[in-house]
A and B are shown apart, each in its own frame.
Chain A
Amino acid sequence: ELKVEQNPLFLSMQEGKNYTIYCNYSTTSDRLYWYRQDPGKSLESLFVLLSNGAVKQEGRLMASLDTKARLSTLHITAAVHDLSATYFCAVDNTGNQFYFGTGTSLTVIP
């Protein structure tokens, strides 16, 4: 069974600071996904990373993928309150089944 681990599980950071969320997965995977979930809401797709060395950026968020280390990172630059949410990474195995991490709950403090 493919396992996906995220850390930290909880992150409280001040506005303006930088931080990184880590996502490790246990077996080879075709794609790595990052999602955002606001409290009581559904999941919103942030990034899809397809290959080793892939890097994608949107605003203050940047995601990268190292398939050899089976590691993805989500880097937050100069955090703002609007980024407070839970962030999930997920991988798909053969394209049929998706496996999600347990999520990182991010709180940005003014």
Chain B
Amino acid sequence: NAGVTQTPKFRILKIGQSMTLQCAQDMNHNYMYWYRQDPGMGLKLIYYSVGAGITDKGEVPNGYNVSRSTTEDFPLRLELAAPSQTSVYFCASSYPGSSYNEQFFGPGTRLTVL
């Protein structure tokens, strides 16, 4: 199993550009999540999904969009990138049917907006 994979690893965007961060998991997990981590801080939830076709906002959704057309993939779209979106983005997945509902994290995407 590859677990949770994310692409790209690094990206530099200009203000106003858009991009999609890719996330995929091969563990057949229902739940998937997108977080951002600013320097020296904990993780903030951007969006999450409890299954294909179902998404919901987390703490900090403004400036982002998501879709979940399959169980495996959960892309995060940035429209009109702003310097405030400079951060490290982590995707995670979990299986809520387990008593632990443990999250498994991808390696992260480091995004800089200039």
Contacts and interface: CB of A to CB of B under 8 A. Distances in A.
Contacts, number: 54
A42 B106 contact: yes
Interface in B41-71: 41-45, 48, 50, 56, 58-59
- Which of under 10, 10 to 19, 20 to 34, or 35 or more describes the interface residues of B? 20 to 34
Contacts of B100: 31, 48, 50
B41 A102 contact: yes
A110 to B, nearest CB: 24
Nearest to B90: A42
Given A42-B107, A43-B90, A98-B33, A31 B43 contact: no
A106 to B, nearest CB: 14
A95 B43 contact: no
A37 B43 CA distance: 11
- Which of under 10, 10 to 19, 20 to 34, or 35 or more describes the interface residues of A? 20 to 34
A97 B50 CA distance: 10
B84 interface: no
A43 B105 contact: yes
Given A42-B108, A101-B42, A102-B42, A95 B96 contact: yes
A45 B104 contact: yes
Contacts of B48: 96-97
A97 B45 contact: yes
A42 B35 CA distance: 12
B101 A31 contact: yes
Nearest to A105: B40
A96 B50 contact: yes
Interface string B67-93: 000000000000000000000001000
Interface of A: 1, 4, 30-31, 33, 41-45, 48, 50, 88, 90, 92, 95-103
Given A31-B100, A41-B108, A88-B42, 8 more contacts: A33-B102, A42-B108, A96-B31, A96-B56, A97-B48, A100-B35, A100-B42, A103-B41
Ranked nearest first, the 9 interchain pairs of A and B with the lowest CB-CB distance are: A100-B42, A100-B43, A48-B100, A102-B42, A42-B105, A43-B105, A42-B107, A95-B96, A103-B42
